Amino acid sequence: MEEIADCRSVREIIKTFAWSVLFIMLLAFFINCAIVADELNMGILQYISISILSFLEEKFWGIKFFSHSLNILGILTFIVALFVN
């Protein structure tokens, strides 16, 4: 029974990690869209990007995945910094 519980917890960790990585990628994409739209004075694209970011954060993933995403992003930044220095 303990092995089954361990497998479920591992699956949950992997699932949370996958959603967090996807959220980081989408977050970076929409932030880049907002920056490009601001540089090119494309107000509607900037508005759409920021609206989608707000919707994703509040409704779809919620604070759980957002906080996991920030933690994973911090760990990845630390690892990259180790290799760069």
When pLDDT is cut at 50, 70 and 90, the band that residue 14 belongs to is: confident
- Tens-place pLDDT, residues 44-61: 666 666 666 666 666 655
* DSSP line for 40-55: TT-HHHHHHHHHHHHH
Cα separation, 73 vs 81, in Å, equals: 12
Residue among 83, 62, 79, 76 nearest 16 (CA): 62
- Tens-place pLDDT, residues 31-47: 666 666 666 666 666 66
The pTM is what? 0.43
Residue among 36, 60, 59 nearest 48 (CA): 36
